[in-house]
């Protein structure tokens, strides 16, 4: 028995490749998101090294992020070396200066999901629970064993 739908007020139509079932999205709002960073990082044993390979601990990986409630970090790891990541955040004043010294650690040093698996994809939401709205983030990665490898990252900021 074919599936049918009412094409207009008086015409029934069978669902087919030429006449697919019409779908109308109701009450849907697109989630505004922006690509903030695409980076290729050579993951080494150097701690305090961020995705931009910067070792100055006061330098943010991402700046001007206060409008985003969440960041989504997508990555592809080419190597299988055990890797640790640490995510820091802070808020700035109107002149883009940090409100205080240092950072708030929102993800402590944690093994990167996918450890031990080369050529694997991963996804991390920042922060992992709740909303962010921090102005600056610092994302540090370093390997704890094995050889150097390439980590390709894309960070997206989600508003609203």
Interatomic CA distance for residues 158 and 2, integer angstroms:
42
- Which residue in the block uniquely carries the two structure tokens 């994302």? 139
Can you give the pLDDT at residue 152? Answer: 97
CA angle 133–91–138, rounded 5-degree value: 85
pLDDT 10s digit of each residue in the chain, 160 long?
677 767 777 777 787 877 777 777 777 777 799 999 999 999 999 999 999 999 999 999 999 999 999 999 999 999 999 999 999 999 999 998 999 999 999 999 999 988 888 999 999 999 988 889 999 999 999 999 999 999 999 999 999 8
Distance between CA atoms of residues 153 and 43, nearest Å: 12
- Beta-carbon contacts of 115 under 8 Å, excluding residues fewer than 6 positions away, are 80, 82, 83
pTM for the structure as a whole: 0.80
- Residue 1's pLDDT is 62
* The pLDDT of residue 147: 93
Tokens 């739908």, located at residue: 5
Candidates 1.20.120, 3.40.50, 3.10.450, 2.60.120; correct CATH number of 30-158?
2.60.120
């Amino acid at each position: 028995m074919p599936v049918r739908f009412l094409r207009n007020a008086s015409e029934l139509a069978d669902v087919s490749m030429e006449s697919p079932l019409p779908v109308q999205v109701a009450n849907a709002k697109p989630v505004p998101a922006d690509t903030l960073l695409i980076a290729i990082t050579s993951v080494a044993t150097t701690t305090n090294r961020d995705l931009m390979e910067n070792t100055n601990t006061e330098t943010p990986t991402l700046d001007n992020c206060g409008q985003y409630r969440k960041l989504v970090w997508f990555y592809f790891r080419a190597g299988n070396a055990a890797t640790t990541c640490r995510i820091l955040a802070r808020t700035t004043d109107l002149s883009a200066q940090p409100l205080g010294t240092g950072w708030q650690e929102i993800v402590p040093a944690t093994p990167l999901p996918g450890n031990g698996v080369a050529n694997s994809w991963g996804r991390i939401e920042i922060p992992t629970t709740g909303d962010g709205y921090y102005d600056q983030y610092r994302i540090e990665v370093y390997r704890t064993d094995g050889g150097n490898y390439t980590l390709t990252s894309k960070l997206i900021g989600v508003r609203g």
